[in-house]
Every structure is written in structure tokens, then in C-alpha cells.
């Protein structure tokens, strides 16, 4: 028999998986050590030149793939899981989640059918609900991240608002003779605007409410705007609360916003992609008062829970409404493959049908990663992590008070503390430049990598702690380094 052309030999592939994984493990382990110089790190021109090749007409085989993974790709990845990295709100996954992710890619490559992986979608969501105090009757769905989770929450809000006036927006589209608005603070994440755009509601219809000195939504302005809009017959689609803003990590007054949402008969969506896990710290759990009165929430296991990136979750209070917002008309070929009567094999039966509640039909199994992480460390492990990270931000705040050259900007609620280096006689522009230069030097010559942002117009250094590998040593190290850099730069 003629041998198969250039395609993979599937039997060998399956047998080879462990061999392949073994071959890339040393590179992955080295990548994760985060210390010293890794001689495999190349400058960008070099690794790009190696990788940037035309489409191969003839396959080069899996060994060539492994070789480039080892020598070029893995070493030149992003070490944002390093203990001193506190820049964004993503980190490298922990081992249990990464291992479950690999298992999911191979054995759970489609979450629809009635398999262990489908079961863990449901179990993972219900563990998250229990962990975070999300009402048990809410419908959850795993999605690719906070961006999509916010689309899901606001899709339900859109459905709810228009159904109240007898319109089915999913079916009939949006009415041309009506006006509507979505209300969120200036500090809300940009993906809210995009979600509104994607849903056809129009970015211009997001009202950006100002924030108070503490960076939380200005409730008076919110009430006033809603009142005036109501007089003009504008439909309020949703109020969006941030439970942990990405700039300063403060939690909007959810309970007051729930009162307002009730008064105006509208939807309350909570964007907790980063900060809903903050609830687990008993010192700040009171900030989430009224959360269960909301109608939907977004949360990102790929942030504080350190699941592999690509793991977010949306929760909506009304399962049927969500189904109407995102229904997937039955497809013959799928329905046709479902056996009648008793269950004989996983191919005969759908598991829980998540494709009715999201925007993807084919989707990876993500619940298994959440399951793995929570099974490994338990609710208590997560409570400890969140409490520890929040205490790091408070620790920075305390150290700042002891240094006259450091100034805290904004308040500390969760695991972010914004601050800047100051020096008498420097004006605001000079201070901005100085702190920008400090941040640049940190990236260049230290293992401490926070980000910068602007708070009340001031450029500040912004460490955000969600990385399980970070210890108090890196927290103190960052402060010491900022002080010494500031001093040197001023010379
Ligand atoms: C990260 C984040 C998002 C965006 O989520 P992705 O997972 O990056 O798509 C939205 N809102 C908040 C509050 C976030 O922290």
C-alpha cells in the first residue's frame, strides 16, 4: 500500500505525545525559573528571522517543531509569571491548571458531549458560584475571558430591556425609533465600550459617569443622569459596576448601585473580571455588599485564580432570558447525531448545552482547569492567596507613609497600590517624567516590573499583585528599588 503522503501518522502521534512533552519540559522548566540570564533568549531580530519562514510546502516533521519550540519559541516567551512581575492582571498559569489545560486540549477538545469534561464545565461553574457567593440559580458559562464575559452579561441586559417593551432584540434587531443608554464610570474597563459596540447598542450610548476622589463611580451624577434621561424617554439598558477597577483596584458601591438599578427598573452588571475574587479577603468582603442583587457578572479565572489564559466566566441571573439572547437554532447535523432512547456512548448524548448561552459553538473545555486549581488548593488556598496579595498592597501603603519621597495616589482596597516618587521643587510635569523614567529603569535593570497609569492626572507606578509566586521579598524589593532609582535619577 502506498504510504500516506505528508500527513501525520496518527498512531505515532498519540504515542509520541508524552515523548514530545518530555522533550519540551526542560525548556519550560527553565523558562519558569525566572532567574539569571537565559542564554537561549535572543534579540527580537534573531528569533523573528528564524521563525519568519514561508509556508512549508513539504512538512518538516514533528522533531523540527520540537526543536524550534525548545530553542527559539519557549525561551522568547513572556515571563509575566516571574515573582517580581506585577504589571498587568494576568500571570503565568500554575502547574495544576496548565496540566489540566493540556489534558483538556487532548481529551476534552469539544465540551458539548456528555463527557467528564462537560460535567466539569458545570461543576467548575458551580464551585466558582459557591466560592464567590454568586446565587446558585444563576446560569454560568465559561468563555475566553473578561471581554466576552462582559458581552454575555450585556447581551442579557439588552434582551431584558427590550423585552420589557415587547421587542425581541435578538430576533428582530434594535428599534429605530427608540433611544437607550448604558451607564458606567469613567474607570470601567474599555471592553465595556467594545461589548456595547458588538451588541449593536452603539458605543456613543455608553454614558461615562465621573468618579469621586476615591475613583469610585459618582452616585449623585449617576442618579441625576438617569433621572434626566428618564424624562426624555431614554431606555436604561444597564448600569455597570466595576468590582475591582483595573487602574486602582477599587470596588464601586454595588449596593447603592443595586438600589438605583431597582429604582429605574434596569439591569445591574458587575465587571469583576479581576476583582470579584477580592471578596475572599475578609478584610474587604464588606465592599461587595449587595452583589447578589446584581443581574450578571463577569469573572476571569485566568487572572487571580491563575488558570491558563483563555479562561473567563459569565454569570447571568436568568437562564431562560440568556438562552433567548444567545440562542443557537438547532442544527440538523448535530441533532441528527443524537441517539434516541437510552444513553449508549458519549456521542449519543449532549451534556449541559453551553452553546446556548454564549457566542461560541465549538469551544474548549475550561471547567477542568478551574476544577484542577480549586481541587489543588481549595477555597482556603484561594482565600489565603487573595488576602496575602491584598495585604501586599496595604504593606506598600504603610511603607510609603514612612518615606517622605514616596506619595500614595488614590486608595487601596484590593491588591493594587498606586504611588509615585516625589521631590520638593519638581512640578507635575517633571514628576510625571521622573516616574516614567523610574518605571523604564525598573523594566530595564531589575526583576521588578509594575505598570504605570494615571490617577487624578498624575502618572503613578502601579503594582498589582495576583501572582501566586510573588512574596513579600519582591514587594519590599520594589519599594527599595524605586527609592534608589528615584534618588539616582535626580542626581
Ligand atoms: C481583564 C479585565 C477585563 C478584560 O478581560 P480579558 O480577560 O482581558 O478579556 C475586563 N474588565 C476587567 C475589570 C478586567 O480586569
Q: What is the pLDDT of residues 436-489, one digit of tens each?
A: 999 999 999 999 999 999 999 999 999 999 999 999 999 999 999 999 999 999
Q: Grid cell 447525531 — which residue?
A: 337
Whole-angstrom CA distances from 25 to 61, 74, 99, 154, 472 are: 19, 10, 12, 41, 29
Which pLDDT belongs to residue 32?
83
Which pLDDT belongs to residue 341?
55
Please give the DSSP secondary-structure letter assigned to residue 6.
S
Q: Picking from 63-67, 180-184, 282-286, 310-314, which range would have the lowest pLDDT averaged per residue?
A: 63-67
CA–CA separation, 236 and 89 (whole Å): 31
CA of 274 to the centre of ligand 1 (A): 7
Which of 90, 91, 274, 296 to mutate for ligand 1's pocket (most ligand atoms within 8 Å of CB)?
274
CA–CA separation, 413 and 250 (whole Å): 6
CA–CA separation, 359 and 233 (whole Å): 31
CA–CA separation, 211 and 228 (whole Å): 19
CA–CA separation, 95 and 81 (whole Å): 12
Which pLDDT belongs to residue 392?
98
CA of 155 to the centre of ligand 1 (A): 17
Q: Whose CA is nearest to atom 6 of ligand 1?
A: 146
Q: Above 70 in pLDDT, residue 225?
A: yes
Q: Which residues line ligand 1 (CB under 6 A)?
A: 89, 145-147, 189, 191, 242, 246, 271, 273-274, 300, 312
Q: Which atom of ligand 1 is nearest to the CA of 272?
A: 13
> CA neighbours within 13 Å on the CB side: how many for 120?
23
CA–CA separation, 184 and 379 (whole Å): 31
Of the pLDDT bands very low, low, confident and very high (cuts 50, 70, 90), residue 2 is very low
CA of 427 to the centre of ligand 1 (A): 34
Whole-angstrom CA distances from 163 to 147, 149, 166, 173, 482 are: 24, 21, 5, 12, 54
Q: Which atom of ligand 1 is nearest to the CA of 243?
A: 13
Whole-model pTM?
Answer: 0.95
> CA neighbours within 13 Å on the CB side: how many for 367?
25
Which pLDDT belongs to residue 4?
47
Amino acid at each position: 500500500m502506498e504510504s500516506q503522503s505528508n500527513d501525520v501518522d496518527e498512531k505515532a502521534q498519540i504515542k509520541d505525545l508524552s515523548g514530545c512533552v518530555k522533550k519540551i519540559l526542560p525548556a519550560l522548566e527553565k523558562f519558569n525559573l525566572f532567574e539569571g540570564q537565559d542564554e537561549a533568549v535572543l534579540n527580537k531580530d534573531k528569533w523573528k528571522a528564524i521563525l519568519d519562514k514561508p509556508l512549508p510546502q513539504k512538512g518538516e516533521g514533528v522533531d523540527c517543531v520540537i526543536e524550534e519550540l525548545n530553542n527559539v519559541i519557549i525561551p522568547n516567551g513572556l515571563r509575566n509569571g516571574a515573582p517580581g512581575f506585577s504589571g498587568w492582571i494576568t500571570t503565568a498559569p500554575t502547574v495544576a491548571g496548565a496540566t489540566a489545560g493540556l489534558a483538556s486540549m487532548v481529551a476534552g477538545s469539544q465540551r458539548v458531549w456528555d463527557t467528564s469534561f462537560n460535567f466539569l464545565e458545570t461543576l467548575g461553574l458551580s464551585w466558582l458560584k459557591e466560592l464567590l457567593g454568586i446565587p446558585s440559580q444563576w446560569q454560568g458559562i465559561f468563555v475566553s475571558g473578561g471581554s466576552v464575559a462582559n458581552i454575555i452579561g450585556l447581551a442579557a441586559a439588552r434582551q431584558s430591556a427590550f423585552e420589557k417593551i415587547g421587542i425581541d432584540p435578538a430576533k428582530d434587531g434594535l428599534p429605530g425609533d427608540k433611544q437607550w443608554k448604558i451607564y458606567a464610570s469613567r474607570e470601567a474597563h474599555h471592553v465595556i465600550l467594545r461589548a456595547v459596540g458588538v451588541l449593536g447598542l452603539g458605543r456613543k450610548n455608553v454614558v461615562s459617569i465621573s468618579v469621586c476622589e476615591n475613583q469610585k463611580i459618582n452616585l449623585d451624577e449617576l442618579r441625576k443622569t438617569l433621572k434626566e434621561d428618564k424624562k426624555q424617554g431614554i431606555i436604561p439598558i444597564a448600569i455597570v459596576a466595576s468590582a475591582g477597577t483595573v487602574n486602582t483596584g477599587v470596588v464601586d458601591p454595588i449596593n447603592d448601585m443595586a438600589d438605583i438599578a431597582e429604582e429605574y427598573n434596569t439591569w445591574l452588571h458587575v465587571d469583576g473580571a479581576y476583582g470579584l475574587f477580592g471578596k475572599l479577603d475578609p478584610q474587604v468582603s464588606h465592599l461587595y455588599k449587595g452583589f447578589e442583587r446584581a443581574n450578571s457578572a463577569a469573572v476571569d479565572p485566568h487572572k487571580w485564580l491563575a488558570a491558563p489564559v483563555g479562561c473567563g466566566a459569565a454569570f447571568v441571573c436568568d437562564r431562560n432570558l440568556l438562552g433567548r439572547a444567545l440562542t443557537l437554532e438547532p442544527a440538523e447535523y448535530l441533532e441528527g447525531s443524537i441517539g434516541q432512547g437510552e444513553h449508549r456512548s458519549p456521542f449519543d448524548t449532549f451534556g449541559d448545552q453551553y452553546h446556548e448561552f454564549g457566542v461560541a459553538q465549538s469551544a474548549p473545555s475550561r471547567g477542568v482547569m478551574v476544577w484542577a486549581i480549586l481541587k489543588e488548593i481549595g477555597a482556603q488556598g484561594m482565600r489565603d492567596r487573595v488576602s496575602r496579595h491584598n495585604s501586599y498592597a496595604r504593606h506598600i501603603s504603610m511603607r510609603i507613609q514612612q518615606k517622605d519621597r514616596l506619595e500614595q495616589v488614590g486608595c487601596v482596597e484590593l491588591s493594587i497600590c498606586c504611588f509615585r516618587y516625589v521631590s520638593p521643587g519638581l512640578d507635575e510635569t517633571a514628576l510625571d517624567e521622573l516616574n516614567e523614567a523610574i518605571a523604564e529603569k525598573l523594566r530595564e535593570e531589575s526583576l521588578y516590573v509594575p505598570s504605570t497609569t494615571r490617577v487624578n492626572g498624575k502618572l503613578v507606578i502601579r503594582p498589582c499583585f495576583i501572582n501566586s509566586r510573588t512574596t513579600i521579598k519582591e514587594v519590599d524589593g520594589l519599594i527599595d528599588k524605586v527609592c534608589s532609582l528615584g534618588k539616582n535619577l535626580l542626581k
